[in-house]
Structure 1
Amino acid sequence: MHKLAGIELGGTKTVVVLGQPGRIDERMEFPTTDPTATLDRAIEAIRGWRDDKPVDAVGIASFGPVRVSREAADHGFMLDTPKPGWSGAAVAGPVHAALCCPVAIDTDVNGAALAEHRFGAAQGCESMVYLTIGTGIGGGILIAGEPAHGLLHPEIGHVRLRRAAGDRFEGGCAFHGDCIEGLVAGPGLAARLGTHPSRVDPDDPAWQPVAQDLAELFAMLILTVSPQRIVVGGGVSNRQPHLLPMAIARVPALLGGYLRECTRERLARLIVAPLLGDDAGPMGALVLAARALEDRTAAARAIAAEA
Protein backbone atom coordinates (compact mmCIF):
# COMPACT_ATOMS: atom_id res chain seq x y z
CA MET A 1 0.00 0.00 0.00
CA HIS A 2 1.24 3.47 -0.86
CA LYS A 3 2.42 5.74 1.93
CA LEU A 4 0.66 9.10 1.78
CA ALA A 5 1.11 12.29 3.81
CA GLY A 6 -1.10 15.32 4.20
CA ILE A 7 -0.50 18.87 5.38
CA GLU A 8 -3.43 20.99 6.51
CA LEU A 9 -1.87 24.44 6.51
CA GLY A 10 -4.15 26.67 8.56
CA GLY A 11 -3.82 30.32 9.41
CA THR A 12 -3.45 29.46 13.11
CA LYS A 13 -2.16 25.90 13.24
CA THR A 14 -0.72 23.28 10.92
CA VAL A 15 -1.68 19.61 11.04
CA VAL A 16 0.55 16.99 9.42
CA VAL A 17 -0.78 13.45 8.97
CA LEU A 18 0.29 10.08 7.60
CA GLY A 19 -2.28 7.58 6.37
CA GLN A 20 -4.71 6.83 3.59
CA PRO A 21 -7.91 8.53 2.40
CA GLY A 22 -10.36 7.72 5.16
CA ARG A 23 -7.70 6.75 7.72
CA ILE A 24 -5.22 8.81 9.72
CA ASP A 25 -2.37 6.75 11.21
CA GLU A 26 -0.06 9.47 12.54
CA ARG A 27 -0.69 13.12 13.39
CA MET A 28 1.35 16.13 14.48
CA GLU A 29 0.07 19.65 15.21
CA PHE A 30 1.95 22.91 15.76
CA PRO A 31 1.37 26.67 15.36
CA THR A 32 1.62 28.21 11.90
CA THR A 33 4.42 30.77 12.13
CA ASP A 34 6.50 32.06 9.22
CA PRO A 35 6.57 30.11 5.92
CA THR A 36 10.08 28.69 6.17
CA ALA A 37 9.80 27.51 9.78
CA THR A 38 6.31 26.08 9.30
CA LEU A 39 7.04 24.16 6.09
CA ASP A 40 10.39 22.93 7.43
CA ARG A 41 8.66 21.55 10.50
CA ALA A 42 6.03 19.82 8.35
CA ILE A 43 8.71 18.31 6.12
CA GLU A 44 10.68 17.04 9.11
CA ALA A 45 7.55 15.45 10.55
CA ILE A 46 6.99 13.56 7.30
CA ARG A 47 10.64 12.53 7.11
CA GLY A 48 10.39 11.23 10.67
CA TRP A 49 7.72 8.77 9.60
CA ARG A 50 10.07 7.08 7.12
CA ASP A 51 10.41 3.61 8.58
CA ASP A 52 10.66 1.38 5.53
CA LYS A 53 10.30 3.83 2.64
CA PRO A 54 9.70 7.51 1.84
CA VAL A 55 6.19 8.81 1.31
CA ASP A 56 4.81 8.33 -2.20
CA ALA A 57 2.86 11.60 -2.40
CA VAL A 58 1.86 14.63 -0.33
CA GLY A 59 -1.35 16.62 -0.36
CA ILE A 60 -1.47 20.20 0.93
CA ALA A 61 -4.79 21.73 1.99
CA SER A 62 -3.85 25.36 2.56
CA PHE A 63 -5.35 28.59 3.78
CA GLY A 64 -5.37 31.20 1.09
CA PRO A 65 -5.75 32.74 -1.24
CA VAL A 66 -3.31 30.38 -2.94
CA ARG A 67 -2.70 29.69 -6.63
CA VAL A 68 -4.14 26.25 -7.39
CA SER A 69 -4.17 26.33 -11.20
CA ARG A 70 -1.49 23.98 -12.49
CA GLU A 71 -1.07 26.05 -15.63
CA ALA A 72 -0.20 29.23 -13.73
CA ALA A 73 3.43 30.33 -13.46
CA ASP A 74 2.93 30.89 -9.73
CA HIS A 75 1.19 27.56 -9.07
CA GLY A 76 1.54 26.61 -5.42
CA PHE A 77 2.36 30.15 -4.26
CA MET A 78 0.42 32.14 -1.68
CA LEU A 79 -1.24 35.28 -3.02
CA ASP A 80 -2.06 38.45 -1.05
CA THR A 81 -3.19 37.25 2.35
CA PRO A 82 -3.81 38.92 5.72
CA LYS A 83 -1.49 36.36 7.35
CA PRO A 84 1.72 38.36 8.02
CA GLY A 85 4.76 37.18 6.10
CA TRP A 86 2.90 34.73 3.84
CA SER A 87 2.03 36.86 0.81
CA GLY A 88 4.02 35.52 -2.14
CA ALA A 89 5.37 32.54 -0.19
CA ALA A 90 6.12 29.31 -2.05
CA VAL A 91 4.12 26.49 -0.48
CA ALA A 92 4.08 23.46 -2.77
CA GLY A 93 7.59 23.93 -4.21
CA PRO A 94 9.60 23.52 -0.99
CA VAL A 95 7.68 20.36 -0.07
CA HIS A 96 8.24 18.82 -3.50
CA ALA A 97 11.94 19.75 -3.50
CA ALA A 98 12.55 18.32 -0.03
CA LEU A 99 10.58 15.08 -0.35
CA CYS A 100 11.04 14.36 -4.09
CA CYS A 101 7.50 13.05 -4.62
CA PRO A 102 4.29 14.25 -6.26
CA VAL A 103 2.61 17.11 -4.41
CA ALA A 104 -0.96 18.36 -4.90
CA ILE A 105 -2.20 21.62 -3.41
CA ASP A 106 -5.68 23.03 -2.98
CA THR A 107 -7.45 25.21 -0.46
CA ASP A 108 -8.11 23.91 3.03
CA VAL A 109 -11.86 24.16 2.45
CA ASN A 110 -11.73 22.35 -0.91
CA GLY A 111 -9.76 19.64 0.87
CA ALA A 112 -12.35 19.44 3.63
CA ALA A 113 -15.09 19.35 0.98
CA LEU A 114 -13.40 16.37 -0.71
CA ALA A 115 -13.23 14.52 2.60
CA GLU A 116 -16.84 15.23 3.61
CA HIS A 117 -17.98 14.27 0.10
CA ARG A 118 -16.17 10.95 0.16
CA PHE A 119 -16.46 9.95 3.83
CA GLY A 120 -18.73 12.38 5.64
CA ALA A 121 -21.92 14.40 5.52
CA ALA A 122 -22.01 14.87 1.72
CA GLN A 123 -21.65 11.25 0.61
CA GLY A 124 -23.66 10.57 -2.52
CA CYS A 125 -23.99 14.25 -3.45
CA GLU A 126 -23.03 15.47 -6.91
CA SER A 127 -22.73 19.07 -5.74
CA MET A 128 -21.89 20.41 -2.29
CA VAL A 129 -20.46 23.38 -0.42
CA TYR A 130 -18.21 23.17 2.61
CA LEU A 131 -18.21 26.32 4.75
CA THR A 132 -15.92 26.99 7.67
CA ILE A 133 -16.78 29.88 9.97
CA GLY A 134 -13.96 30.73 12.35
CA THR A 135 -11.32 33.46 12.33
CA GLY A 136 -12.40 33.92 8.71
CA ILE A 137 -14.93 32.32 6.40
CA GLY A 138 -13.82 29.87 3.75
CA GLY A 139 -15.90 28.00 1.21
CA GLY A 140 -15.06 24.95 -0.86
CA ILE A 141 -17.34 23.94 -3.73
CA LEU A 142 -17.51 20.55 -5.44
CA ILE A 143 -19.34 20.13 -8.74
CA ALA A 144 -19.71 16.52 -9.93
CA GLY A 145 -17.34 15.65 -7.10
CA GLU A 146 -14.56 17.94 -8.37
CA PRO A 147 -13.29 21.14 -6.67
CA ALA A 148 -14.32 24.34 -8.38
CA HIS A 149 -11.34 26.22 -9.83
CA GLY A 150 -11.30 29.06 -12.30
CA LEU A 151 -9.94 32.57 -12.13
CA LEU A 152 -8.78 31.58 -8.63
CA HIS A 153 -10.85 29.43 -6.30
CA PRO A 154 -14.09 30.21 -4.47
CA GLU A 155 -13.75 33.09 -2.01
CA ILE A 156 -17.21 32.85 -0.50
CA GLY A 157 -16.25 34.75 2.63
CA HIS A 158 -15.75 37.96 0.69
CA VAL A 159 -19.12 38.21 -1.03
CA ARG A 160 -21.27 41.18 0.02
CA LEU A 161 -24.91 40.43 0.64
CA ARG A 162 -28.11 42.28 1.49
CA ARG A 163 -27.95 43.58 5.06
CA ALA A 164 -30.63 43.18 7.70
CA ALA A 165 -32.88 46.23 7.97
CA GLY A 166 -31.50 48.70 10.48
CA ASP A 167 -28.17 46.94 10.96
CA ARG A 168 -25.45 49.60 10.83
CA PHE A 169 -22.43 47.48 11.81
CA GLU A 170 -19.62 48.42 9.42
CA GLY A 171 -17.98 44.99 9.40
CA GLY A 172 -14.53 43.81 10.31
CA CYS A 173 -12.92 42.74 7.02
CA ALA A 174 -9.72 44.64 6.23
CA PHE A 175 -10.50 44.41 2.50
CA HIS A 176 -14.27 44.83 2.21
CA GLY A 177 -15.68 45.90 5.56
CA ASP A 178 -19.12 44.30 5.64
CA CYS A 179 -18.57 41.25 3.44
CA ILE A 180 -19.95 38.09 5.07
CA GLU A 181 -16.55 37.34 6.67
CA GLY A 182 -16.48 40.81 8.16
CA LEU A 183 -19.94 40.28 9.62
CA VAL A 184 -20.01 36.76 11.08
CA ALA A 185 -16.43 35.46 11.38
CA GLY A 186 -14.84 35.53 14.83
CA PRO A 187 -13.20 39.00 14.85
CA GLY A 188 -16.25 40.62 13.25
CA LEU A 189 -18.56 38.95 15.75
CA ALA A 190 -16.46 40.14 18.69
CA ALA A 191 -16.56 43.73 17.39
CA ARG A 192 -20.25 43.49 16.59
CA LEU A 193 -21.26 42.03 19.95
CA GLY A 194 -18.85 44.13 21.99
CA THR A 195 -17.41 41.07 23.73
CA HIS A 196 -16.29 37.54 23.02
CA PRO A 197 -19.21 35.68 21.41
CA SER A 198 -19.03 32.95 24.08
CA ARG A 199 -20.15 35.54 26.65
CA VAL A 200 -23.38 36.39 24.79
CA ASP A 201 -26.45 34.35 25.72
CA PRO A 202 -28.03 32.41 22.81
CA ASP A 203 -31.34 34.19 23.48
CA ASP A 204 -29.78 37.65 23.25
CA PRO A 205 -31.43 39.73 20.46
CA ALA A 206 -27.92 40.66 19.25
CA TRP A 207 -27.80 37.28 17.48
CA GLN A 208 -30.79 38.13 15.26
CA PRO A 209 -28.91 40.16 12.60
CA VAL A 210 -26.08 37.62 12.67
CA ALA A 211 -28.53 34.82 11.90
CA GLN A 212 -30.06 36.98 9.16
CA ASP A 213 -26.65 37.47 7.54
CA LEU A 214 -25.99 33.72 7.58
CA ALA A 215 -29.43 33.09 6.08
CA GLU A 216 -28.59 35.49 3.24
CA LEU A 217 -25.41 33.50 2.62
CA PHE A 218 -27.29 30.20 2.53
CA ALA A 219 -29.94 31.61 0.19
CA MET A 220 -27.27 32.96 -2.15
CA LEU A 221 -25.49 29.58 -2.29
CA ILE A 222 -28.74 27.70 -2.91
CA LEU A 223 -29.62 30.01 -5.80
CA THR A 224 -26.15 30.14 -7.40
CA VAL A 225 -24.52 26.76 -6.76
CA SER A 226 -27.66 24.61 -6.29
CA PRO A 227 -25.87 22.31 -3.83
CA GLN A 228 -27.34 19.08 -2.58
CA ARG A 229 -25.58 19.68 0.73
CA ILE A 230 -24.07 22.64 2.57
CA VAL A 231 -21.75 21.43 5.33
CA VAL A 232 -20.98 24.10 7.94
CA GLY A 233 -17.95 23.70 10.21
CA GLY A 234 -15.47 25.91 12.02
CA GLY A 235 -15.07 27.28 15.50
CA VAL A 236 -17.92 29.81 15.40
CA SER A 237 -20.52 27.31 14.24
CA ASN A 238 -19.22 24.66 16.67
CA ARG A 239 -19.28 26.98 19.70
CA GLN A 240 -22.54 28.73 18.75
CA PRO A 241 -24.78 25.80 17.72
CA HIS A 242 -27.92 27.96 18.02
CA LEU A 243 -26.87 30.01 14.98
CA LEU A 244 -27.40 27.31 12.34
CA PRO A 245 -31.08 26.59 13.11
CA MET A 246 -31.72 30.32 13.58
CA ALA A 247 -30.35 31.02 10.11
CA ILE A 248 -32.08 28.05 8.46
CA ALA A 249 -35.45 29.24 9.82
CA ARG A 250 -35.01 32.53 7.92
CA VAL A 251 -34.07 31.10 4.51
CA PRO A 252 -37.58 30.24 3.19
CA ALA A 253 -38.72 33.85 3.64
CA LEU A 254 -35.62 35.11 1.82
CA LEU A 255 -36.35 32.76 -1.09
CA GLY A 256 -39.81 34.30 -1.24
CA GLY A 257 -41.61 31.15 -2.32
CA TYR A 258 -39.45 30.85 -5.44
CA LEU A 259 -38.19 27.39 -4.45
CA ARG A 260 -41.20 25.96 -2.66
CA GLU A 261 -39.46 22.66 -1.97
CA CYS A 262 -36.98 24.54 0.24
CA THR A 263 -39.06 24.21 3.38
CA ARG A 264 -37.52 24.62 6.80
CA GLU A 265 -37.54 20.81 7.21
CA ARG A 266 -35.88 20.24 3.85
CA LEU A 267 -33.28 22.91 4.55
CA ALA A 268 -32.41 21.29 7.89
CA ARG A 269 -31.35 18.21 5.90
CA LEU A 270 -29.53 20.27 3.28
CA ILE A 271 -27.56 22.54 5.66
CA VAL A 272 -25.77 20.34 8.18
CA ALA A 273 -22.76 20.04 10.48
CA PRO A 274 -19.72 18.03 9.30
CA LEU A 275 -19.47 14.37 10.21
CA LEU A 276 -15.66 14.37 10.19
CA GLY A 277 -15.25 17.33 12.54
CA ASP A 278 -11.64 18.52 12.81
CA ASP A 279 -10.46 15.56 10.71
CA ALA A 280 -12.05 16.92 7.52
CA GLY A 281 -9.08 19.12 6.57
CA PRO A 282 -6.28 16.60 7.27
CA MET A 283 -8.27 13.80 5.64
CA GLY A 284 -8.85 16.03 2.64
CA ALA A 285 -5.10 16.55 2.38
CA LEU A 286 -4.70 12.76 2.18
CA VAL A 287 -7.31 12.65 -0.60
CA LEU A 288 -5.24 15.26 -2.45
CA ALA A 289 -2.11 13.13 -1.95
CA ALA A 290 -3.87 10.11 -3.46
CA ARG A 291 -4.92 12.24 -6.42
CA ALA A 292 -1.35 13.46 -6.93
CA LEU A 293 -0.15 9.86 -7.05
CA GLU A 294 -2.91 8.87 -9.48
CA ASP A 295 -2.00 11.77 -11.76
CA ARG A 296 1.67 10.74 -11.82
CA THR A 297 0.73 7.13 -12.55
CA ALA A 298 -1.61 8.18 -15.38
CA ALA A 299 1.09 10.41 -16.89
CA ALA A 300 3.63 7.57 -16.77
CA ARG A 301 1.20 5.24 -18.51
CA ALA A 302 0.51 7.82 -21.21
CA ILE A 303 4.24 8.23 -21.88
CA ALA A 304 4.70 4.46 -22.02
CA ALA A 305 1.83 4.09 -24.45
CA GLU A 306 3.39 6.65 -26.80
CA ALA A 307 6.83 5.03 -26.70
Structure 2
Amino acid sequence: MIYGAIEAGGTKFVCAVSDEKFDIKERVSIPTTTPQETLEQVFDFFDQYDLSAIGIGSFGPIDVNTDSSTYGYVTTTPKTAWKNYDFLGAIKERYAIPVGWTTDVNAAALGELRKGAALGLSSCVYLTVGTGIGGGAVVNGELLTGYGHPEMGHMMVRLHPDETFAGFCPYHGNCLEGIAAGPAIEKRYGKKGHELADEQHVWEMEAYYLAQALMNYTLVLSPERIVLGGGVMKQKQLFSLVRQEFEKLMAGYIELPPLEEYIAGPALGDNAGITGSLLLAAEQVK
Protein backbone atom coordinates (compact mmCIF):
# COMPACT_ATOMS: atom_id res chain seq x y z
CA MET A 1 0.00 0.00 0.00
CA ILE A 2 1.01 3.60 -0.56
CA TYR A 3 -0.27 6.28 1.81
CA GLY A 4 -0.55 9.95 0.96
CA ALA A 5 -0.45 12.78 3.48
CA ILE A 6 -1.16 16.49 3.37
CA GLU A 7 -0.07 18.80 6.17
CA ALA A 8 -1.95 21.90 5.10
CA GLY A 9 -0.56 25.00 6.74
CA GLY A 10 -1.40 28.64 6.29
CA THR A 11 2.00 29.29 4.71
CA LYS A 12 2.76 26.01 2.96
CA PHE A 13 1.38 22.57 2.18
CA VAL A 14 3.67 19.61 2.84
CA CYS A 15 2.68 16.54 0.84
CA ALA A 16 4.27 13.14 1.27
CA VAL A 17 3.87 9.49 0.30
CA SER A 18 5.00 6.51 2.33
CA ASP A 19 4.89 2.75 2.38
CA GLU A 20 3.05 0.66 4.98
CA LYS A 21 5.93 1.12 7.44
CA PHE A 22 5.53 4.91 7.12
CA ASP A 23 8.92 5.35 5.52
CA ILE A 24 8.53 8.51 3.45
CA LYS A 25 9.41 7.92 -0.20
CA GLU A 26 8.95 11.46 -1.44
CA ARG A 27 7.76 14.78 -0.10
CA VAL A 28 7.23 18.27 -1.48
CA SER A 29 6.52 21.71 -0.07
CA ILE A 30 3.98 23.88 -1.87
CA PRO A 31 3.19 27.54 -1.09
CA THR A 32 -0.32 28.12 0.24
CA THR A 33 -1.87 30.59 -2.18
CA THR A 34 -5.39 30.11 -3.59
CA PRO A 35 -7.14 26.73 -3.46
CA GLN A 36 -6.96 26.39 -7.24
CA GLU A 37 -3.23 27.16 -7.47
CA THR A 38 -2.25 25.14 -4.43
CA LEU A 39 -4.31 22.05 -5.18
CA GLU A 40 -3.17 21.99 -8.79
CA GLN A 41 0.35 21.35 -7.48
CA VAL A 42 -0.94 18.89 -4.87
CA PHE A 43 -2.66 16.88 -7.63
CA ASP A 44 0.46 16.97 -9.80
CA PHE A 45 2.37 15.36 -6.94
CA PHE A 46 -0.14 12.66 -5.94
CA ASP A 47 -1.15 11.77 -9.50
CA GLN A 48 2.21 10.00 -9.84
CA TYR A 49 1.17 7.35 -7.30
CA ASP A 50 -1.42 4.64 -6.90
CA LEU A 51 -2.56 5.71 -3.45
CA SER A 52 -4.52 3.54 -1.04
CA ALA A 53 -5.65 6.42 1.18
CA ILE A 54 -4.86 10.03 2.05
CA GLY A 55 -4.71 11.70 5.45
CA ILE A 56 -5.18 15.46 5.75
CA GLY A 57 -4.20 17.61 8.72
CA SER A 58 -5.43 21.09 7.87
CA PHE A 59 -5.14 24.62 9.18
CA GLY A 60 -8.48 25.85 10.41
CA PRO A 61 -10.93 26.32 11.72
CA ILE A 62 -12.37 23.38 9.80
CA ASP A 63 -15.64 21.45 9.97
CA VAL A 64 -15.06 17.95 11.35
CA ASN A 65 -18.68 17.18 12.17
CA THR A 66 -19.70 14.37 9.82
CA ASP A 67 -23.39 15.29 10.25
CA SER A 68 -22.80 18.85 9.05
CA SER A 69 -23.63 20.06 5.55
CA THR A 70 -20.19 21.71 5.47
CA TYR A 71 -18.20 18.72 6.72
CA GLY A 72 -14.74 18.90 5.18
CA TYR A 73 -14.77 22.66 4.70
CA VAL A 74 -12.22 25.19 5.86
CA THR A 75 -14.53 27.67 7.59
CA THR A 76 -13.73 31.00 9.28
CA THR A 77 -10.07 31.20 8.38
CA PRO A 78 -8.48 34.66 7.98
CA LYS A 79 -7.04 33.34 4.69
CA THR A 80 -9.79 34.86 2.54
CA ALA A 81 -9.36 32.62 -0.50
CA TRP A 82 -9.88 29.51 1.63
CA LYS A 83 -12.83 30.77 3.65
CA ASN A 84 -15.79 28.36 3.42
CA TYR A 85 -13.88 26.18 0.95
CA ASP A 86 -14.73 22.47 0.50
CA PHE A 87 -11.17 21.21 0.86
CA LEU A 88 -12.05 17.59 1.60
CA GLY A 89 -14.58 17.54 -1.22
CA ALA A 90 -11.97 18.71 -3.73
CA ILE A 91 -9.60 15.91 -2.72
CA LYS A 92 -12.34 13.27 -2.83
CA GLU A 93 -13.47 14.47 -6.24
CA ARG A 94 -9.96 13.87 -7.56
CA TYR A 95 -9.22 10.57 -5.79
CA ALA A 96 -11.79 7.80 -5.25
CA ILE A 97 -10.07 6.48 -2.15
CA PRO A 98 -10.60 6.84 1.63
CA VAL A 99 -9.53 10.23 2.98
CA GLY A 100 -8.96 11.07 6.64
CA TRP A 101 -9.69 14.62 7.77
CA THR A 102 -8.62 16.46 10.92
CA THR A 103 -6.78 19.56 12.09
CA ASP A 104 -3.04 20.01 11.63
CA VAL A 105 -2.51 19.95 15.40
CA ASN A 106 -4.67 16.88 15.90
CA ALA A 107 -2.53 15.18 13.25
CA ALA A 108 0.62 16.27 15.09
CA ALA A 109 -0.79 14.89 18.35
CA LEU A 110 -1.43 11.55 16.64
CA GLY A 111 2.09 11.53 15.20
CA GLU A 112 3.72 12.20 18.57
CA LEU A 113 1.55 9.58 20.28
CA ARG A 114 2.25 6.77 17.81
CA LYS A 115 5.79 7.60 16.71
CA GLY A 116 7.20 10.36 18.92
CA ALA A 117 7.38 11.85 22.39
CA ALA A 118 4.24 10.10 23.69
CA LEU A 119 5.06 6.67 22.23
CA GLY A 120 3.56 3.86 24.29
CA LEU A 121 0.92 6.06 25.92
CA SER A 122 -2.80 6.26 25.15
CA SER A 123 -3.29 10.02 25.46
CA CYS A 124 -1.47 13.27 24.84
CA VAL A 125 -1.97 16.93 24.07
CA TYR A 126 0.08 18.61 21.36
CA LEU A 127 0.34 22.40 21.45
CA THR A 128 2.07 24.42 18.76
CA VAL A 129 3.25 27.89 19.74
CA GLY A 130 4.29 29.91 16.73
CA THR A 131 2.58 32.35 14.38
CA GLY A 132 -0.58 31.23 16.15
CA ILE A 133 -1.31 28.81 18.97
CA GLY A 134 -3.24 25.63 18.33
CA GLY A 135 -3.71 22.39 20.17
CA GLY A 136 -4.84 18.87 19.42
CA ALA A 137 -5.40 15.86 21.61
CA VAL A 138 -5.59 12.11 21.49
CA VAL A 139 -7.72 10.60 24.27
CA ASN A 140 -7.80 6.83 24.81
CA GLY A 141 -6.09 6.40 21.46
CA GLU A 142 -8.69 8.45 19.55
CA LEU A 143 -8.44 11.96 18.12
CA LEU A 144 -10.48 14.39 20.18
CA THR A 145 -13.42 15.86 18.26
CA GLY A 146 -17.00 16.62 19.16
CA TYR A 147 -19.44 19.05 17.61
CA GLY A 148 -16.27 20.68 16.37
CA HIS A 149 -12.56 20.33 17.08
CA PRO A 150 -10.50 21.73 19.96
CA GLU A 151 -9.44 25.38 19.69
CA MET A 152 -6.98 25.31 22.55
CA GLY A 153 -5.21 28.48 21.51
CA HIS A 154 -8.21 30.69 22.16
CA MET A 155 -8.80 30.02 25.85
CA MET A 156 -8.71 33.05 28.12
CA VAL A 157 -5.77 33.48 30.48
CA ARG A 158 -5.06 35.70 33.47
CA LEU A 159 -2.93 38.67 32.44
CA HIS A 160 0.55 39.08 33.87
CA PRO A 161 0.79 41.92 36.42
CA ASP A 162 3.31 43.70 34.16
CA GLU A 163 1.34 43.21 30.96
CA THR A 164 0.86 46.29 28.76
CA PHE A 165 0.02 44.61 25.44
CA ALA A 166 -3.68 44.44 24.50
CA GLY A 167 -3.39 41.25 22.41
CA PHE A 168 -3.76 40.78 18.67
CA CYS A 169 -6.47 38.13 18.23
CA PRO A 170 -9.19 39.71 16.02
CA TYR A 171 -11.85 37.64 17.78
CA HIS A 172 -10.84 37.64 21.45
CA GLY A 173 -8.09 40.21 21.90
CA ASN A 174 -5.95 38.85 24.71
CA CYS A 175 -6.78 35.14 24.60
CA LEU A 176 -3.80 32.75 24.80
CA GLU A 177 -2.99 33.12 21.10
CA GLY A 178 -3.54 36.86 21.17
CA ILE A 179 -1.19 37.37 24.09
CA ALA A 180 1.43 34.60 23.74
CA ALA A 181 1.87 33.62 20.06
CA GLY A 182 4.94 34.75 18.14
CA PRO A 183 3.34 37.95 16.79
CA ALA A 184 2.37 38.96 20.33
CA ILE A 185 5.99 38.74 21.42
CA GLU A 186 7.09 40.80 18.42
CA LYS A 187 4.39 43.44 18.86
CA ARG A 188 5.01 43.72 22.60
CA TYR A 189 8.79 44.15 22.40
CA GLY A 190 9.34 45.38 18.84
CA LYS A 191 11.63 42.45 18.04
CA LYS A 192 11.21 38.87 16.91
CA GLY A 193 11.54 36.12 19.48
CA HIS A 194 14.95 34.90 18.29
CA GLU A 195 16.31 38.42 18.80
CA LEU A 196 15.19 38.31 22.43
CA ALA A 197 16.77 34.97 23.35
CA ASP A 198 18.81 36.43 26.23
CA GLU A 199 15.99 38.55 27.67
CA GLN A 200 14.89 36.45 30.66
CA HIS A 201 11.83 38.58 31.45
CA VAL A 202 10.41 37.92 27.97
CA TRP A 203 10.37 34.18 28.49
CA GLU A 204 9.19 34.39 32.09
CA MET A 205 6.10 36.24 30.89
CA GLU A 206 5.64 33.74 28.06
CA ALA A 207 5.89 30.85 30.52
CA TYR A 208 3.32 32.56 32.76
CA TYR A 209 0.74 32.31 29.98
CA LEU A 210 1.64 28.90 28.62
CA ALA A 211 1.63 27.33 32.08
CA GLN A 212 -1.92 28.54 32.67
CA ALA A 213 -3.03 26.84 29.48
CA LEU A 214 -1.24 23.61 30.38
CA MET A 215 -2.86 23.66 33.79
CA ASN A 216 -6.30 23.86 32.17
CA TYR A 217 -5.56 21.10 29.65
CA THR A 218 -4.35 18.94 32.52
CA LEU A 219 -7.40 19.52 34.69
CA VAL A 220 -9.89 19.00 31.85
CA LEU A 221 -8.29 16.20 29.79
CA SER A 222 -5.79 14.58 32.18
CA PRO A 223 -3.38 13.64 29.36
CA GLU A 224 -0.44 11.36 30.01
CA ARG A 225 1.90 13.81 28.26
CA ILE A 226 1.86 17.35 26.89
CA VAL A 227 4.07 18.02 23.86
CA LEU A 228 5.04 21.62 23.05
CA GLY A 229 6.14 22.44 19.49
CA GLY A 230 6.25 25.39 17.13
CA GLY A 231 8.71 28.17 16.46
CA VAL A 232 8.45 29.89 19.84
CA MET A 233 9.28 26.64 21.64
CA LYS A 234 12.62 26.50 19.81
CA GLN A 235 13.72 28.80 22.66
CA LYS A 236 14.76 25.80 24.74
CA GLN A 237 15.09 27.81 27.95
CA LEU A 238 11.32 28.19 27.84
CA PHE A 239 10.66 24.56 28.80
CA SER A 240 12.15 24.84 32.28
CA LEU A 241 10.36 28.14 32.88
CA VAL A 242 7.03 26.64 31.82
CA ARG A 243 7.54 23.64 34.09
CA GLN A 244 8.41 25.89 37.04
CA GLU A 245 5.36 28.10 36.53
CA PHE A 246 3.13 25.07 35.94
CA GLU A 247 4.30 23.47 39.18
CA LYS A 248 3.60 26.70 41.05
CA LEU A 249 0.09 26.96 39.60
CA MET A 250 -0.83 23.31 40.24
CA ALA A 251 0.29 23.67 43.88
CA GLY A 252 0.48 19.91 44.37
CA TYR A 253 -3.26 19.54 43.78
CA ILE A 254 -3.05 16.34 41.72
CA GLU A 255 -0.39 13.70 41.21
CA LEU A 256 1.49 13.93 37.90
CA PRO A 257 4.47 12.25 36.27
CA PRO A 258 7.85 14.01 36.64
CA LEU A 259 7.45 17.33 34.84
CA GLU A 260 10.56 16.76 32.68
CA GLU A 261 8.62 13.85 31.18
CA TYR A 262 5.12 15.30 31.37
CA ILE A 263 5.90 18.56 29.53
CA ALA A 264 8.08 17.55 26.60
CA GLY A 265 9.34 18.75 23.26
CA PRO A 266 8.30 16.99 20.04
CA ALA A 267 10.43 13.92 19.29
CA LEU A 268 9.41 14.20 15.63
CA GLY A 269 10.43 17.84 15.37
CA ASP A 270 8.77 19.51 12.39
CA ASN A 271 7.60 16.12 11.05
CA ALA A 272 4.88 15.54 13.66
CA GLY A 273 2.06 16.77 11.42
CA ILE A 274 3.02 14.90 8.27
CA THR A 275 3.67 11.71 10.25
CA GLY A 276 0.26 11.98 11.90
CA SER A 277 -1.38 12.55 8.53
CA LEU A 278 0.21 9.36 7.17
CA LEU A 279 -1.05 7.47 10.22
CA LEU A 280 -4.49 8.94 9.64
CA ALA A 281 -4.39 7.67 6.05
CA ALA A 282 -3.57 4.18 7.28
CA GLU A 283 -6.51 4.29 9.70
CA GLN A 284 -8.89 4.92 6.81
CA VAL A 285 -7.82 1.67 5.14
CA LYS A 286 -8.34 -0.28 8.35
Q: TM-score, normalization: structure 1?
A: 0.89
Secondary structure of the residue aligned to 2:156 is: coil
TM-fit CA distance, 1:237: 0.6
Distance 1:102 1:201, change over 3 A: closer
Task: Tell me what 1:200 maps to.
Answer: 196
Distance 1:25 1:218, change over 3 A: same
Contact kept, 8 Å, 1:202 with 1:242, in 2: the verdict is no
Secondary structure of the residue aligned to 2:110 is: helix
**Amino acid corresponding to residue 18 of structure 1 in structure 2:** V
Q: What's the % identity of the aligned pairs? A: 39
Task: Give the RMSD, CA atoms, in angstroms.
Answer: 1.4
Alignment of 1:44 onto 2:39:
no
Q: What do the CA deviations read for 1:200-227 (whole angstroms, capped 9, x no partner)? A: 1334323322111111111111111111
The 5-angstrom pairing of residues 105-254 of structure 1 reads 105-238=101-234, 240-254=235-249
Secondary structure of the residue aligned to 1:125 is: coil
TM-fit CA distance, 1:262: 4.2
Q: What do the CA deviations read for 1:14-52 (whole angstroms, capped 9, x no partner)? A: 10000046321110112111112112211110012x3xx
**Amino acid corresponding to residue 8 of structure 1 in structure 2:** E
Q: What do the CA deviations read for 1:67-116 (whole angstroms, capped 9, x no partner)? A: 11222211110110112311101111111111221111110111111111
Name whichever of 201-210 and 133-142 sits farther off: 201-210
Task: Tell me what 1:292 maps to.
Answer: 284
Name whichever of 20-29 and 153-162 sits farther off: 20-29
Instruction: Tell me, in whole angstroms, the C-alpha distance in 2 between the residues paired with 1:195 and 1:113.
Output: 30
Q: What do the CA deviations read for 1:252-282 (whole angstroms, capped 9, x no partner)? A: 21112312x348xx11210101111111111
Secondary structure of the residue aligned to 2:80 is: coil
Task: Tell me what 1:255 maps to.
Answer: 250
Contact kept, 8 Å, 2:168 with 2:179, in 1: the verdict is yes
Task: Tell me what 2:263 maps to.
Answer: 271
Instruction: Tell me, in whole angstroms, the C-alpha distance in 2 between the residues paired with 1:22 and 1:145.
Output: 19
Aligned length: 285
Q: What do the CA deviations read for 1:139-189 (whole angstroms, capped 9, x no partner)? A: 011110101111210000000012222323211111111111111111111
Distance 1:23 1:200, change over 3 A: same
Task: Tell me what 1:64 maps to.
Answer: 60
Task: Tell me what 1:5 maps to.
Answer: 4
For structure 2, the residue ranges without an aligned partner over 5 or more in a row are none
Contact kept, 8 Å, 2:129 with 2:229, in 1: the verdict is yes
Instruction: Tell me, in whole angstroms, the C-alpha distance in 2 between the residues paired with 1:235 and 1:46.
Output: 29
For structure 1, the residue ranges without an aligned partner over 5 or more in a row are 295-307
Rg larger for: 1
Name whichever of 146-155 and 68-77 sits farther off: 68-77
Secondary structure of the residue aligned to 1:17 is: strand
Contact kept, 8 Å, 2:106 with 2:143, in 1: the verdict is yes
